């Protein structure tokens, strides 16, 4: 009987260790690196996506009031954003915005399952943003005038996309990516 | 007479030992501010367990104010504390400027905020679980009042 108990305990311990290691391995982290040589400033952010999911309801309460969100100092209505996104999606793979002028080249387009923003400005350098459509869908899935940021993060996590944003200018560099390590590469 | 003094002393010592054990068990919050300009230093170690005991002394008016501020975020703060506690030690945010440095990190059971500027240094260490419990307790106390 004692032997049986010991074996059960051992099996339980092995299972617990396995469960813990699986949980640890599945934790994904969002990393943000900003290097600004002009200001001699470096910013490093390492946040687990699970923590972001927990924190987002708080941010939703504080930052998104009355269905409005501030984008580039402009108040944008979420309902309008949803309508716009729906018409974008109905188009399939398409280029929504293309600006070409001296020293500036900006493209916003969908390609496969991604929304892409590619920009080059002589003053700002290269900007590449790659967002899974599923993440945008999830973010705009909130009822009425609400954004569902938590669902957006979850969709981002499930999408398997790693490099989200890269900005490379002469004197500054911004990287936003996801991986399963709690320290930045 | 000596017997009574011995018993009282033993009782006091046991009480002190128990309080020290309780304080270490629940963790100690540390606030350390060093004002380099005025050469002043403030160092406050606060046993979070004792803060927990002191909550019952907060007046009702203040509790309702706390409820307004904290109530909506109570569950989030509690689950944040749980999430943080189960996480490996990490530097969450690090800002390195020309002459200043800010670091928010997790070290063991504590959340640490370390700010260094030419004028001052601020170091705050907060035990994660105990703080989560206090926030939860505060919110639930204010619910009852």
Average pLDDT, chain B: 82
Select the more confidently predicted residue: B39 or B59: B39
Q: Judge whether A18 lies within some domain.
A: no
pLDDT digits (tens, 9 = 90+) for B47-82: 877 777 777 677 777 777 777 776 666 777 777 788
| Number of domains making up chain A | 1
Q: How confident is the model at residue A180 (pLDDT cuts 50, 70, 90)?
A: confident
pLDDT at A22: 41
CB B27 within 8 A of CB B110: yes
CB B136 within 8 A of CB B77: yes
Q: Judge whether A3 lies within some domain.
A: no
Q: Does A50 touch chain B (CB under 8 A)?
A: yes
Residue B95 has pLDDT above 90, yes or no: yes
Unique residue bearing structure tokens 């987002």: A56
Task: Please give the full DSSP string across chain A, using - where no structure is assigned.
Answer: -HHHHHHHHHHHHHHHHHHHHHHHHH--EEEEEEEETTTTEEEEEEEEHHHHHHHHHHHHHHH-BTTEEEETTEEEEHHHHHHHHHHHHHT-S-EEEEEEETTEEEEEEEETTEEEEEEEETTTEEEEEEEEHHHHHHHTTSSTT---HHHHHHHHHHH---EEEEEE-SSEEEEEEEES-SS--
User: In chain A, whose CA is at the least distance from the CA of B81?
Assistant: A51
Q: Judge whether A13 lies within some domain.
A: no
Q: Judge whether A12 lies within some domain.
A: no
pLDDT digits (tens, 9 = 90+) for A141-163: 877 777 787 788 888 888 877 88
Unique residue bearing structure tokens 């919110």: B139
ipTM above 0.95, yes or no: no
Q: Does B90 touch chain A (CB under 8 A)?
A: yes
For B76, phi then psi, to 5°, come to -65, -45
Average pLDDT, stretch A99-113? 86
Q: Judge whether A184 lies within some domain.
A: no
Q: Judge whether A17 lies within some domain.
A: no
CA distance B91 to B25: 24
pLDDT at A17: 43
pLDDT at A18: 42
CA distance A57 to A63: 10
Q: Judge whether A43 lies within some domain.
A: yes
CB A85 within 8 A of CB A94: no
Q: Does B107 touch chain A (CB under 8 A)?
A: no
Average pLDDT, chain A: 76
Q: Answer yes or no: do A41 and B76 touch at CB < 8 A.
A: no
Q: Judge whether A44 lies within some domain.
A: yes
Alpha-carbon torsion A9, A12, A17, A20, what sign? negative
Interface with chain B: mutation pick from A55, A61, A65, highest number of B CBs within 10 Å: A55
Average pLDDT, stretch A110-127? 82
Residue B140 has pLDDT above 80, yes or no: no
CA distance A140 to A161: 19
Residue A21 has pLDDT above 50, yes or no: no
Q: What are the chain A neighbours of B80 within 8 Å (beta carbons)?
A: 51, 54-55
Q: How confident is the model at residue A8 (pLDDT cuts 50, 70, 90)?
A: low
Tell me the residue range of the domain where A166 lies.
28-179
pLDDT digits (tens, 9 = 90+) for A24-56: 445 789 899 999 988 889 999 998 888 887 777
Count of CB atoms within 10 A of residue B16's CB?
Answer: 10
Q: Does A21 touch chain B (CB under 8 A)?
A: no
pTM above 0.80, yes or no: no
């Amino acid at each position: 009987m004692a032997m049986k108990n010991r074996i059960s305990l051992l099996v339980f311990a092995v299972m617990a260790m396995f469960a813990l290691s699986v949980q640890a391995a599945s934790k994904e982290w969002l990393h943000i690196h900003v290097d600004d040589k002009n200001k001699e400033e470096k910013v490093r952010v390492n946040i687990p996506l699970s923590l972001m999911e927990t924190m987002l309801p708080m941010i939703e309460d504080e930052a998104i009031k009355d269905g409005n969100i501030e984008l580039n100092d402009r108040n944008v209505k979420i309902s309008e954003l949803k309508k716009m996104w729906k018409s974008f999606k109905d188009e399939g793979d398409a280029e929504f915005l293309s600006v070409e002028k001296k020293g500036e080249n900006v493209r916003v387009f969908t390609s496969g399952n991604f929304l892409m923003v590619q920009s080059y400005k002589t003053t700002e350098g290269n900007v590449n943003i790659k967002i899974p459509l599923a993440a945008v869908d999830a973010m705009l899935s909130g009822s009425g005038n609400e954004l569902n940021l938590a669902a957006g993060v979850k969709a981002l996590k499930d999408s398997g996309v790693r490099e989200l944003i890269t900005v490379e200018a002469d004197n500054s560099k911004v990287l936003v990516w996801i991986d399963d390590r709690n320290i930045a590469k | 007479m000596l017997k009574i003094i011995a018993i009282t002393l033993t009782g006091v010592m046991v009480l002190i030992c128990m309080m020290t054990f309780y304080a270490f068990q629940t963790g100690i919050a540390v606030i350390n501010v060093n004002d380099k300009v005025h050469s002043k230093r403030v160092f406050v170690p606060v046993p979070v367990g004792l803060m927990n005991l002191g909550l019952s002394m907060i007046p009702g008016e203040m509790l309702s104010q706390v409820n307004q501020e904290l109530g909506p975020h109570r569950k989030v703060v509690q689950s944040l504390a749980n999430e943080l506690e189960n996480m490996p030690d990490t530097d969450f945010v690090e800002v390195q400027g020309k002459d200043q440095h800010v670091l928010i990190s997790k070290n063991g059971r504590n959340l640490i905020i370390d700010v260094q500027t030419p004028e001052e240094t601020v170091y705050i260490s907060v035990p994660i679980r105990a703080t989560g419990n206090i926030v939860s307790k505060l919110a639930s106390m204010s619910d009852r009042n």
